[in-house]
A and B are shown apart, each in its own frame.
Chain A
Amino acid sequence: MEVMNETATLTNKDKFLSHFDLVDFSMDEDFSSDVRKEAMELIQWLDFPTSKAEYWKYTRVNKIIKGDYKISTPENEIEIDLSVPTKNCIVLINGYFSEELSFFDKTEGIEFSSLSHAKKSSSILKEKFNSLVKKDEIFADINTAYHQDGAFMHIAKNVQSDEPYYILNLVDDSNIMSNPRNFIFVEQGANAKAVLKTINTGNTGSFTNMVSEIFVDKNAHFEINKIQDEAEDSFQIATEQVVQADDSTFKINTFTLNGSIVRNNLNIDSLGKNTMTYLNGLYPLKGKQHVDNHTYLLHREPNGESHELYKGIIGDSSTGVFNGKVFVHREAQKTNAFQSNANIVMTDTATINSKPELEIYADDVKCSHGSTTGQLDEEALFYLRARGLSKDSARAVLVNAFASDVIDQIGVEAVKVEIEKYIDDNYQGIK
């Protein structure tokens, strides 16, 4: 029987990988080609995860890997009004860089370009590319082996920037598989903010497999806001690999607004002392959406602090998964780590699987974690209605209030407005 199973799985994998047969990656730079080859080797030894693997217990990838995909070619002529509220935006279409739609307000000390451009010119990319990605994760390896393009961001030492840098990943056709790959390096003492947004213009059956490597150097501050607005029946797996050096601050806010199956793998390695880390997430789900947030934060050195807050509004027949792990190494004394996951279940058919985890090997730490799941407070609903708010308004008010502490964490005003509007628009008419 086991042999049979193995044969079946291999067939799936072969079929999936055959999508890449017609794509020519030979124009790549040498160092990048080598990395691709290595990843292709690794893929040979790996299989797609089943729900037997603890890491993938609540998310089945079958639907994703059985899709009939096509790999797009670079498009030059596309008419779309992106109206991005920034002076700096890299636009990727179906995985490829769009020169036409991207724009950049040239600033001293900031490099913001396509990954393919940076491969030709950046020494830091050459040195660090793919150094953070886990080698035993098949989806990350697939991205390494078959990525088309992505964004490259390099903030030089002590450069302070208030302007948000947008990376827009646009899918504009059906059944598109894309593997965008981003690389962000924030040097010592620098300060920057970015927005990583996926937009799918209403097409079906696409799969975005995105990987971002993020380096936050000593005393640097970096915030990234991730907005996932996939089409209703499209899939996304997004992996962020982050390292933090001494005295650095890193914040990531993840907003999953749409997508049939969305899986986030967020891995933060706090290598330095006295680091500050914020991980926030909001997943307002509807229909049959399945959204899985896996976070892993490793405190390796003393005096680190982390705050994790994930909130879900689980509607219709959707499923939310939260698995957040904080690992405190035995060297990481005086760590303060706080983790919280709260969910509102809106219907009888909505499901949430929540698993906050702490693994602590240091003895002088302050750590807490908690998970709550409940319905909208009936007493509060009645109170608001007794004051004259309609049932819908009362619910909208309570949902907004629930989401507000995550939204308050957003440091980019335009993103804050966008998410607030999304919540307002989507919870006015809920049943």
Chain B
Amino acid sequence: MIKIKNLHASIDGTEILTGINLEVKAGEVHAIMGPNGSGKSTLANVLAGRDEYEVTEGSVDFLGEDLLDMDPEDRSRAGLFLAFQYPVEIPGVSNINFLKTAINEAREKRGEEPMSAKDFLKRVKEKSKLVELDGRLANRSVNEGFSGGEKKRNEIFQMAMLDPKLSVLDETDSGLDIDALRTVANGVNQLKTKDNASIIITHYQRLLDYIVPDFVHVLYNGKIVKTGPKELALELEERGYDWIIKDLEKVSA
């Protein structure tokens, strides 16, 4: 589904990603963990196409297309979804209306008819139930006045509405209490099929009790320095990151 090769990216002249290699296949869940400042969120934002980041080297192939050459909206329409770490509040813009515009613009691009109002509302009802998002929130301005948990649930609700091929969840778990975490994880699990995939970026192992990854990658200094099975997450939780960093230093020394 996605092949990231030797990806380097910088912001304001400082290199943050220093050569990422990662392949995610359909049906897989990959977790990316790492200490603060390791480049986790940068990776998410570069994949989504935020233009403050400059890609200096490498390539990203997404379903056979050059992802880095695409505008953010085209990446979304091609099936990439980023659940934001900090969802933006947009007063005056209705959550529902903008999703309708987004869905129909994507359909138009694919040469399809716009979704009927009836089908759309049916989908809203169904998907908001999935993440237990209050119907009133779905109709309000985007994230305006939402609690932290409501914002994250709204991200997963939007993900469900847009039905992406690859979802990148950027620290969707941080700041959530256990109930909200369960709800969000449950939503993600229910959306999982053999044809889609996710990259879960997290600082904490806790989320991975609920969303079980096929692979766990450790990101450090802008590179993936270790990859392992789901048990690696537990080891990281117990031992922290220092042992990996020390191992690395031994190798380079």
Contacts and interface: CB of A to CB of B under 8 A. Distances in A.
Contacts of B48: 386
28 contacts: A382-B51, A383-B84, A383-B87, A383-B88, A384-B90, A384-B98, A386-B48, A386-B72, A386-B75, A386-B76, A386-B82, A387-B76, A388-B76, A388-B77, A388-B105, A388-B162, A389-B73, A389-B102, A389-B105, A390-B105, A391-B73, A393-B101, A394-B73, A397-B98, A398-B90, A401-B92, A401-B93, A404-B92
A203 interface: no
B145 to A, nearest CB: 15
Interface residues of B, number: 29
A385 B92 contact: no
B105 A398 contact: no
Contacts of B88: 377, 379-380, 382-383
Contact of B91 (A379, A382, A384, A401): A401
Contact of B102 (A388, A391, A400, A405): A388
A278 interface: no
Interface in B93-126: 93, 98-99, 101-103, 105-106
B92 A405 contact: yes
Interface in A363-394: 377, 379-380, 382-391, 393-394
B90 A387 contact: no
Contacts of A377: 88, 90
A406 to B, nearest CB: 11
Given A389-B102, A391-B71, A383 B90 contact: yes
Contact of B92 (A386, A387, A388, A400): A400
Nearest to A405: B92
Contacts of A384: 90, 93, 98, 102
> Which of A386, A390, A398 gathers most chain B CB within 10 Å?
A386
**A contact face: mostly helix, strand, loop, or mixed:** helix
A382 B50 CA distance: 7
A68 to B, nearest CB: 45
A103 interface: no
Given A379-B88, A397-B93, A402-B92, A385 B101 contact: no
A385 B84 CA distance: 13
Nearest to B77: A388
A380 B90 CA distance: 6
Interface of B: 48-51, 71-73, 75-77, 82, 84, 87-88, 90-93, 98-99, 101-103, 105-106, 141-142, 158, 162
Contacts of B90: 377, 380, 383-384, 398, 401
A382 B77 CA distance: 14
A398 B101 CA distance: 13
A393 B77 CA distance: 14
Contact of B101 (A379, A389, A405): A389
Nearest to B97: A397
Contacts of A385: 49, 71-73, 76
Contact of B158 (A379, A387, A404): A387
A89 B6 CA distance: 70
A273 B74 CA distance: 59
A387 B71 contact: no
A377 B142 CA distance: 14
B139 to A, nearest CB: 15
Interface pairs A-B: 3 shortest CB-CB: A401-B92, A388-B76, A385-B72
Contacts of B93: 380, 384, 397-398, 400-401
Given A382-B50, A382-B72, A383-B87, A389 B98 contact: yes
A393 B49 contact: no
B117 to A, nearest CB: 19
Contacts of A397: 93, 98, 101
A390 B76 CA distance: 10
A405 B141 CA distance: 13
Contacts of A386: 48-49, 72-73, 75-76, 82, 84
A151 to B, nearest CB: 35
A394 B49 CA distance: 15
Contacts of A387: 76, 98-99, 102, 158, 162
Contacts of B141: 401
A144 B168 CA distance: 68
A405 B92 CA distance: 8
> Which of A380, A391, A398, A402 gathers most chain B CB within 10 Å?
A380
A383 B158 CA distance: 12
A391 B70 CA distance: 13
Given A385-B76, A387-B158, A393 B92 contact: no
